[in-house]
Every structure is written in C-alpha cells, then in structure tokens.
C-alpha cells in the first residue's frame, strides 16, 4: 500500500511538472511528452537514443493505463501529453473510444508496422506483440494432441485446461477474435466446453497458470508468450526448473493463425507537439529501437525487420492471425457478456 501510494504521488508530481512545462512558454524547448503504462525503467535508454538522434527531449510519466486515461480526460484539450503508450489493443481502444487519440498518417509507420498491427485510421500503431499460446507439460502431453484454441473444448481435455479469469483483457481479446472467426453462437458453445474442461476455477495470472501446469494441476495453460519467456530466461534457478518441464505451442497454425495482441503508441488529440510525437513513434518502430523496445518485455518486435529475443527465436517462426487488432478489441464488451453466459468466471 505504501509503495502504491508512493508511485501515485510520484506520478502526480510528474503530471504537475508536465503541466507547468505546457503552461509556461518561456520554458519551451524541443520536446515530446509521453504518458506510458510500461513500467520499465530501462525505457530511459530509448528516450536517450531518440534525443541523441533528433535533439528532442523526452519527458515521461509512468502510471497505470486507467489512471493515464482518466488524467488525459481531466486535462482535456489543453493536456500536455503528446504520446500515449499502453499494452493491449483493448486499452488502446478504450482511449480511442474516449476521443483521446488523433488519427496519424506516416509513410514510415505504414511501411514498418504490418497492417493488422495498426489502427485502420492511424489512431494507434503496434510496436510489440505477444502471442496467446498454449504452454503444456512435456511429460503428459504430446504436441500431436494440440491443434487449435477450439480443440481445448473437446472431451479429450476434460479437467486438463488452466486459464485465468475471463475478465482479463488478454482473454477478452482472444474471445473477441474467436467471435470474429466463428460467430457468437459457436464461440459460446466453445466457451461452455472450455469451462467444462478447466482443471480448476480461474485464479491468478498467466504465470500462475504456467506454474500450475508444472505442478501437475493441469496439463495445458493458455498464456501470453512473454510470461513463459521470462521463466525460460530467468536468473532464478527455480523458474528455469519450472520452464524445463514445459514447452510452448502456437495454436491454429493450419488455419487462421495464432492470436496476437499489441503494445502500442498513439498521438493524443491534445498533443502540443504532434510532429515530435510522430517522430518518436517512428523512432520506436525502427529496427534498431524495436529490438530493444521488445526485448525488455520479452515481446516480439512489430516491425518484421527486427529480430526477436533469442528465447523467442528459439521457438521458431509462427503464423499470426491477420485479424486487425482493432477488430477484436472492439468486441471486448461482447466477449465479456459471452463469458458470463458460459460461466467462465
């Protein structure tokens, strides 16, 4: 509680500093103001690289995505934020739905970021991706048993599946993509089968599901890829021991491909430095910055010209679902309603 309060006070102080900068023309310099829900102190190296390349200073405020969205709403048209960075297309859709983002056109970004990883109207651009994969126990599951998300609802997986709460934004994105692919009624039937096959009621986060597979609670977990990568690359022997018992599987490779979601950036509607905002996002989409931006979080670079972290590279290439991230993000409310109907807590 003390640490949470401390972070909020620090964030509030930073917000106040940015407000003073925006309100005082005499202090104006070439700068860009970033509101980010990425909590990686090492991002400072990215900002330093951008400043070195362009001469533009980066002022960063870090806070929870909901806090940042509420702050931007309160600040209104005179808010100091130029760039909003957050994880998950659903959260980007939330900001867009509140009217906080500005459509942006950039030839560099359109060349660097695949179409399905950016908003059709340029409201945001994906900078890193994570796959919603299956993590399975090597001693209890043959890879040949695994195929698709849909197959997890079949009787063969009775009592074997582990997954976190349906209200989690990652699962809402997955369910939204299934609704897009299969329709509402078929996805509802799938969801009921998935609930029947759960090894236990949902509890904890993705890492908890992975650890539960290693402990024998279930055989297969649905998880974002970076959670498993972190265990594989961990400095803690206990985490690496857990990872050794498990392997990753990319679903739907013979069909539409594996569901992927994004960490993305957007120019805000109130941006006092919109040109600098575009320059920063273009920099973050460059192959040089992409590798670092994604490596820190063990995500995949959105720019296909950038190489992924060696752990991810060791898993091999996989086919991504080409569904635009804005499409499944727009179905979050529908996905939550469906999960409630099928009993996925």
Binding residues for Fe cation: 39, 226-227
Contacts of residue 338, defined as CB under 8 A and 6 or more positions apart, other chains included, come to: 175, 179, 184, 187, 188, 191
CA distances from 49 to 56, 281, 302 (A): 10, 13, 19
3-state DSSP call for residue 312?
A: helix
Q: Which residue positions form the known binding site?
A: 39, 226-227
Q: Which two three-digit tokens encode residue 145?
A: 């048993």
Q: Which two three-digit tokens encode residue 58?
A: 């980066």
Count of C-beta atoms within a 10 Å radius of residue 152 = 22
Contacts of residue 294, defined as CB under 8 A and 6 or more positions apart, other chains included, come to: 127, 128, 300, 301, 302, 306, 308, 309
Count of C-beta atoms within a 10 Å radius of residue 120 = 11
Rounded distance, CA 176 to CA 180, Å? 6
In the chain, how long is the greatest CA-to-CA distance?
A: 69
Give the dihedral sign, CA 105/118/207/344.
positive
Q: Which two three-digit tokens encode residue 8?
A: 């909020």
Burial class (CB in 10 A: 0-12, 13-18, 19+), 29: exposed
- The pairing of beta strand 161-162 with beta strand 220-224: parallel
- Do residues 143 and 333 touch, judged by C-beta distance below 8 A? no
DSSP label at residue 299 = P
For 140, phi and psi rounded to 5 degrees?
A: -125, -10
């Amino acid at each position: 509680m003390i640490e949470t309060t401390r972070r909020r006070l620090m964030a509030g102080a930073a917000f106040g500093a940015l407000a003073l900068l925006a309100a005082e023309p005499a202090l104006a310099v070439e700068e860009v103001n970033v509101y980010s829900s990425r909590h990686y102190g090492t991002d400072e190296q990215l900002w330093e690289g951008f400043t070195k390349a362009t001469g533009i200073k980066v002022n960063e405020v870090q806070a929870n995505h909901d806090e940042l969205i509420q702050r931007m709403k309160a600040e209104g048209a005179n808010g100091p934020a130029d760039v909003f960075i957050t994880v998950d297309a659903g959260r980007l859709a939330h900001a867009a739905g509140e009217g906080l983002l500005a459509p942006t056109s950039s030839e560099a970004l359109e060349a660097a970021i695949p179409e399905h990883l950016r908003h059709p109207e340029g409201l945001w651009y994906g900078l890193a991706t994570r796959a919603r994969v299956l993590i399975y126990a090597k001693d209890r599951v043959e890879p040949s048993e695994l195929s698709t998300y849909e197959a997890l609802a079949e009787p063969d997986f009775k009592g074997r599946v582990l997954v976190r709460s349906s209200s989690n934004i990652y699962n809402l994105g997955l369910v939204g993509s299934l609704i897009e692919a299969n329709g509402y009624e078929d996805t509802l039937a799938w969801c009921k089968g998935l609930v029947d096959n759960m090894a236990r009621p949902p509890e904890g986060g993705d890492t908890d599901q992975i650890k539960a597979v290693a402990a024998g609670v279930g055989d297969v977990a649905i998880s974002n890829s970076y959670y498993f990568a972190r265990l594989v690359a961990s400095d803690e022997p206990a985490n690496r021991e857990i990872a050794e018992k498990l392997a990753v599987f990319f679903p739907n490779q013979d069909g539409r491909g594996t569901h992927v979601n994004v960490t993305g950036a957007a120019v805000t509607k109130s941006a006092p430095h919109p040109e600098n905002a575009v320059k920063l996002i273009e920099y973050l989409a460059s192959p040089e910055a992409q590798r670092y931006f994604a490596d820190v979080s063990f995500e995949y670079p959105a720019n296909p010209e950038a190489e992924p972290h060696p752990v991810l590279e060791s898993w091999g290439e996989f086919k991504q679902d080409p569904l635009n991230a804005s499409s499944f993000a727009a179905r979050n409310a529908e996905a939550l309603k469906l999960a409630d109907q099928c009993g996925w807590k």
